[in-house]
Amino acid sequence: MSPTLRTELQQAPSIFEGFLARFFQENAERYAYGELFEPLYLDMTEFVARRGKRIRPMLFLGSYRIFGGERLFDDSSLLRSALSLELLHAFILIHDDVIDQSERRRGLPTFHKLVEERLGKLDGAARVGGNVAVVVGDILFAMALDTLRSTDFPRELRDAALSHFLRYISDTGAGEVYDILLGTRDIARVEEADITRMYTLKTTRYTFEAPLVLGALLAGANAELLQELAELIEPVGLAFQIQNDLIEYHQFKGVDRLRQTDILEGKKTLLLRVAYDHLDDLDRSFLQLCLSTRASNDASISKIEQLIDKSGAVGLLTQRMEGLFQKAEAALKASSFTPEQGDGLREAFSSVRQQTQHTGTQ
């Protein structure tokens, strides 16, 4: 990576945060739906502005430059495109949190909890909070698309970008459906292939493929290059999802036991499935029993921890994760990207790896 690009990327986060704050200020009028809606617009602003890792907008900007885009990082259309990915992320998080009944997001209440708390002691406040959050998610979805649409890139490029963007959204939705439905199945009836498909659809598409492909697309890359890039991203995305599994497991064992609910809610992670595969019949039955919602107590949690440890799944998945990163590296070497493009992507992945090693890609 050239020193200029490095300096540019270092400045990007603060440029982006400034742009995001101005964007919500400048669009307040557009969403001035009256007194009842006002506090929600402020909540939306606050929610999106919460310090996230901004993985998606930063990958987008990096990819745009790696593939030869010439606009400066303070170009408003470039920043709008980056923002559209963060708005998409916010929409997905809000719906996801309603679905999972999560209470905290980025160290603060989830969106539906914000609404619920404002309603005070009202009957059914929790349901109202969830309902409002679903609709606010829809509004952010429309906002994300309109933000990407209203850039000044050539119409043909914008159109292709919108087409990709919509495709990523339905892929993510399909992944979310997998997540929900696999959650209802006994671990024995969940195939590893279903879990990896779920990971790819639900997270890789919009977290890695969308930013990198859109960045390259708007920089002018051709269809073959975009295809090659998408293929390269798939193992990387899966590796990051495995990293998420491992992080959650360590949190789960550690002080922060909040994450336990994920497992007790029935989420089918690769870690659980690999653990199941490497246990004997008796331990498998134990695991199934402890995972069943009827057995959600501290004793089952400790038992699940023990069984995962015993299975050796953590070591196996750590190896698999490294293998996937190596696979991506090999694909990068064999690719038709220039050495500079290859280095750029390598640095992008390693920077995401550093940023996410303790908290995952969310």
Task: List interacting residues with a second copy (CB under 8 A).
Answer: 31, 33-34, 36-37, 40, 95, 98-99, 119, 122-124, 128, 131-132, 134-139, 141-143, 145-146, 149-150, 155-156, 158-159, 162-163, 166-167, 169-171, 173-174, 176-178, 180-184, 194, 197, 201, 293
Quote the distance between the C-alpha of residue 25 and its chain's center: 26
How far apart, in whole angstroms, are the C-alpha atoms of residue 45 and residue 141? Answer: 14
Query: Between 147 and 243, whose beta carbon lies closer to a second copy?
Result: 147
Closest CA to 139 of 47, 243, 226: 47
Query: Between 8 and 96, whose beta carbon lies closer to a second copy?
Result: 96
What is the sign, positive or negative, of the torsion defined by CA atoms of 234, 239, 245, 251?
negative
Query: Between 77 and 356, whose beta carbon lies closer to a second copy?
Result: 77
At its nearest, how many Å lie between a second copy and the CB of residue 161? 11
Task: Quote the tokens at residue 86.
Answer: 């963060």
How many other β-carbons are positioned within 10 Å of the β-carbon of residue 340? 13
Say which residues have a Cβ less than 8 Å from residue 313's Cβ, sequence separation at least 6: 271, 272, 274, 275, 278
At its nearest, how many Å lie between a second copy and the CB of residue 46? 17
At its nearest, how many Å lie between a second copy and the CB of residue 117? 14
How far apart, in whole angstroms, are the C-alpha atoms of residue 107 and residue 110? Answer: 9
Query: Between 165 and 349, whose beta carbon lies closer to a second copy?
Result: 165
At its nearest, how many Å lie between a second copy and the CB of residue 139? 4
At its nearest, how many Å lie between a second copy and the CB of residue 102? 13
Query: Between 42 and 166, whose beta carbon lies closer to a second copy?
Result: 166
Say which residues have a Cβ less than 8 Å from residue 335's Cβ, sequence separation at least 6: 228, 232, 342
